[in-house]
Structure 1
Amino acid sequence: MIWQLFLCVVVFYCLFLRWKARHQIKFSKLFKSDIKSLPILGDSHWFLKCKNDTDRWKLLEMFGREALKQGGLTISWQVHRLFLMVADPVVAEFLMKNCLEKDDSMKLALALVGNGSVVADVPIWRPRRKVFVSTFSLKNLLNFTGIFSEQSMILTEQLQKVAGRGSFSLSDYIISYAMDSVCETTLGITVNAQQTPNQVLMQAFTGCCQLISDRIIKPWLHFTPLYKLTPEHKQFMVYVDIIEKFINKVIQDKRRDMADNNNIKAENKDAPFKSFLELMIEASGGSSGYNDMELREEIVLLFVAATDTTTLGASFTSVLLARHPQVQEKVHQELQEVFGDSNRPVTADDLTRLKYLDAVIRESLRLYPPGPLLLRRADEDVVLPSGQTLPKGTGIMLCVFATHRNPRYWGEDAEQFRPERFLDEQLRHPAAFLAFSYGPRNCIGYRFAMMSMKAVLATLLRRYKVLPISEEDLGKPIDLKFDVMLRAADDFQVILEPRS
């Protein structure tokens, strides 16, 4: 009797969901997909077969390439939710300007970043964005060049331990550089992650990202009451607690220091630069501005985004240079023109002169964007440029990886690593390059990330030549995996050879 009642409830619930999604069902019939979908489960059955992060990425890439195959748009049902898969810049631009709400799938990270700007609802995001605009001014960013340079020099010293001794994971070293740089620029503190590796804080951040990724691709774990019953949730909250305690202490210490030193700093023109935390406190209104929770949300978000973007962008670029030695040689020639044989620190003026290195990084981000997917939600019916009406409640998956390989906008060599395209050619559409998102909710820290990546790569490549772990890898694409961000399946294995 109980099972019959339970079965009736399930059937009625499925019928209710189908009735609720009637507009999405009608809309979905306008699009074609050759990916096999099942009743009720939709395309989510594919993710049940995933055994690891590599399988997970192969599936996500499959959906992106299906969108390309279907002319830039296709659909995917994830149980009862419909997603419009987009790999066309024209539609991507329209949606990123008109659908500002992030999809609920992205908000699964809320336990870590709270209402941080990347996932916050529009009423929260909009006023915070105004504070960030002043915080991320070019004047403030230029003050951080010395930190990037100093930490890059420490990185090259640490790499002496592995240079000339076979293959190793370069990202393990770059993430420590990124954490040191981000802690100093964002929080105004020194953690010495490069010289004291395996810190609890770094392990907590890495663990959080892995668990969030695992949850996102398992629709049955999106139901929070169910997720809270799992051991993964318990471990996730342990990591969150470590991060929150660390950030809270830094915020409280900074507030106290600012109150104690306010008069002294006002009179001291030679005072050191201000960290993002200090700038945010001031820009939001000082003691009457953001409270500790709001500051923590934004600082954690900055910490995660800046650390991951710098690490992955610099790591992918290094592996690509190892696999394309002729491009690496051009980069080294440019470095010679700017620095000669000196080992002097990188300056802000140097970064503006490194045009080819800038193009190499952008081409790396095109082929291997750290954030290969952008998720939005239609909060009301939206008429697409084609005249079709996207129904309210539909999820939007902007396939950055696929859009960056759309031959209509990148040419027939879209799969090839060719940095010159960012020097000799104009973008065929402004939304063809989405490495830092696009529109009102684009990544406001893109200049920070580019400066950090250019500084660390300029320092690294002046001292070392990067080689592939096998000659068979020369010119080959990089095998990938996905855990919230896009990563190399082998964790960016390379060989370093010291330059004379």
Structure 2
Amino acid sequence: MFWLLVLVAVIVGAVYRRRRPELCQIHSDLPIGEKCYPVIGHAYLMKNSDTDGAVWFKALGRQAIENGGITSFWMANKLYILVAEPETSEVILKSCMEKGYVTQFIRTVIGNGSIFAAVDIWRPRRKILAPVFSMKNLNEFVKVFNRQSMIMADMLEPMAGGADFSVWRYFNTYTFDSVCETTLGIDLHSQKDPNHPFLIAFDFVSQELAKRMVSPWMYPEFIYRLLPRYNKFVFHRKIIRHFVDEVIKIKQKQQSTFQKGDNNDLSDTAPKTFLDMMIESSGRLEQKYSDLELREELMVIVMAGTDTSAVGASFAAAMLARHPHVQQKLHHELDLVFANSDRALTVEDLPKLKYLEAVIKETLRLYPPVPVTAREVMNDVKLPSGTTLVEGVSVVLNIWATHRNPTFWGADAEQFRPERFLEGPLKHPSQFQPFSLPMRNCLGYNYAMMSMKTMLANMLRRYRILPPSHMDGHRLQEPLKVSFDVMMRDMDNYEIRIEDRTENQISEGRLLSNQKETSKKKSYC
């Protein structure tokens, strides 16, 4: 029965393609140097792991760059245009507001959360969310970032001077605790108990969504529901939704108690959370957020906020382990700002950490947590190349490839060089887009940057990051191997080593003192 349904879907797809000759013409105008097979098209290229550089967004991105920044491929009966060039990206982002077809699978988890919702749902919700993410509000969260990242630094202490380990668990639980506290007003202490059901469920769901995105035979909902994996997906999705629903209930109960004046622990001077601000912001409009709408938007913030910052910071740690001269500059900047003290990081410190910000941006350029985003063409769109896209075409904006396009980043586009973000304005405003671009860009960009800067600063104040002991010099010069499960991951799981920087500073100080004494003796000769 299952294979019969698959066969029917394949036949329907083939008939659709034949009836849309304009799509075939677009593909002819924007060729790809890979064989297109009957029925499946280029689906065989959709690999999730980076074996020999074959992960799909890298392989197709290179072809797009070689083809002037744009190419096309078939996924069964669906034609996709892949863009690796900022000028075309800008046209698409301004003309096509509907998110891509494959994002419907993410909506099976978060519902109509605004990041992937249809335009008619996204637009009014954006009006509510935009003021919530103001810098004034975000600045209030720095104390949370600092406290939680100090806990993270303490948790890392047993690893100092020890064996290789994955920094992912420490960063992921830090971001989870920070996001839950700033968004929902609760501290789940997952840093001390990393086996939180939400994190386990989120990891499973992320991998499952990625598999479905690159498996056209699982696109039809009626086929996917017949697979054994569907029941596992529903089980883990239920855990995620139940977690957020329970937190909303707790928060509503706290607010109700406070309004009655029955709880002295709550006060109007307590820091407001995203949930508080969303309720207030929606209350200014005619129609307030329902509990379902609150859940959908909170799921977006919690899930995206947890994973994006953790992925970005983990890649940064992996890159710093491979580039000690960059890390040395970072330590120098941190010493200038904090003067080797252990005082708390404040909101006033963040703008002073300019080189740290450049390091994070350079990491996001080479390893953007979300390497691709997609849009649907609803009306004719003429591209700078002269090709006109028509309704029915999907566009994949390949952020990974755009960030490595040598036309805009230069001959050293593949190199890790943070200084490029301190050398003046970019050639094109759309060539750097780790969090997409307006109008439907990620509102949490500044939140994520502040969180990453805080966690990395507090980690690097105490530790020096070293490469894994099992990697030789040649391996350390190679690009990181990555995989894709909604977000990009390091296939080596962000392995590093760390050493206590305080002890190292003492030995460095003695060495410097000896060098000065030697220099004095030489000057007397």
* TM-score where L is the length of structure 1: 0.94
Letter in 2 for 1:121: A
What is the alpha-carbon distance in structure 1 between the residues aligned to residue 351 and residue 8 of structure 2? 64
**Which residue is 1:341 aligned to?**
340
The question of 1:26 aligning with 2:25 is answered yes
Would the alpha carbon gap of residues 416 and 253 (structure 1) be closer, same or farther in structure 2, given more than 3 Å must change? same
How many angstroms does 1:104 deviate by?
A: 1.5
1:301-316 maps to which residues of 2 (within 5 A)? 301-316=300-315
Is the CA contact (8 Å cut-off) linking 1:53 and 1:483 kept in structure 2? Answer: no
How many positions carry a matched residue from both structures? 492
The question of 1:258 aligning with 2:255 is answered yes
Worse overlay, 16-25 or 117-126: 16-25
CA RMSD of aligned residues (A): 2.1
Letter in 2 for 1:486: M
What is the alpha-carbon distance in structure 2 between the residues aligned to residue 9 and residue 341 of structure 1? 68
The question of 1:17 aligning with 2:19 is answered no
Unaligned runs of 5+ in 2: 503-525
The question of 1:238 aligning with 2:235 is answered yes
What is the alpha-carbon distance in structure 2 between the residues aligned to residue 65 and residue 12 of structure 1? 32
**Which residue is 1:212 aligned to?**
209
**Which residue is 2:142 aligned to?**
145
Would the alpha carbon gap of residues 272 and 10 (structure 1) be closer, same or farther in structure 2, given more than 3 Å must change? closer
Q: Secondary structure at the match of 1:349?
A: coil
CA deviations 1:349-387 (Å, max 9, x no partner) are: 001110000001000000000000011110122122233
1:368-387 maps to which residues of 2 (within 5 A)? 368-387=367-386
The structure 2 residue matched to 1:54, chosen from 50, 53, 74, is 50
Of all paired residues, the percent bearing the same amino acid is 42
The structure 2 residue matched to 1:479, chosen from 471, 481, 497, is 481
What is the alpha-carbon distance in structure 1 between the residues aligned to residue 348 and residue 150 of structure 2? 18
**Which residue is 2:112 aligned to?**
115
The question of 1:273 aligning with 2:271 is answered yes
**Which residue is 1:413 aligned to?**
412
What is the alpha-carbon distance in structure 1 between the residues aligned to residue 7 and residue 465 of structure 2? 62
Would the alpha carbon gap of residues 11 and 488 (structure 1) be closer, same or farther in structure 2, given more than 3 Å must change? closer
Would the alpha carbon gap of residues 333 and 10 (structure 1) be closer, same or farther in structure 2, given more than 3 Å must change? closer
What is the alpha-carbon distance in structure 2 between the residues aligned to residue 316 and residue 161 of structure 1? 22
Is the CA contact (8 Å cut-off) linking 2:6 and 2:217 kept in structure 1? Answer: no
How many angstroms does 1:188 deviate by?
A: 0.6
**Which residue is 1:175 aligned to?**
172
Unaligned runs of 5+ in 1: none
The question of 1:428 aligning with 2:424 is answered no
Is the CA contact (8 Å cut-off) linking 1:43 and 1:76 kept in structure 2? Answer: yes
Is the CA contact (8 Å cut-off) linking 1:186 and 1:276 kept in structure 2? Answer: yes
Would the alpha carbon gap of residues 10 and 489 (structure 1) be closer, same or farther in structure 2, given more than 3 Å must change? closer
What is the alpha-carbon distance in structure 2 between the residues aligned to residue 8 and residue 182 of structure 1? 45
What is the alpha-carbon distance in structure 2 between the residues aligned to residue 111 and residue 188 of structure 1? 26
How many angstroms does 1:396 deviate by?
A: 0.3
**Which residue is 1:40 aligned to?**
39
Is the CA contact (8 Å cut-off) linking 2:205 and 2:236 kept in structure 1? Answer: yes
How many angstroms does 1:7 deviate by?
A: 12
How many angstroms does 1:19 deviate by?
A: 3.4
How many angstroms does 1:131 deviate by?
A: 0.8
**Which residue is 1:133 aligned to?**
130
CA deviations 1:267-304 (Å, max 9, x no partner) are: x9861111101111111118951111111111111111
How many angstroms does 1:11 deviate by?
A: 8.6
Is the CA contact (8 Å cut-off) linking 1:323 and 1:476 kept in structure 2? Answer: no
What is the alpha-carbon distance in structure 2 between the residues aligned to residue 277 and residue 251 of structure 1? 8
Is the CA contact (8 Å cut-off) linking 2:5 and 2:223 kept in structure 1? Answer: no
Larger radius of gyration: 2
* TM-score where L is the length of structure 2: 0.90
How many angstroms does 1:125 deviate by?
A: 0.3
Runs of 4+ in structure 1 off by over 6 angstroms are 5-12
**Which residue is 1:164 aligned to?**
161
Is the CA contact (8 Å cut-off) linking 2:57 and 2:371 kept in structure 1? Answer: no
How many angstroms does 1:481 deviate by?
A: 1.2
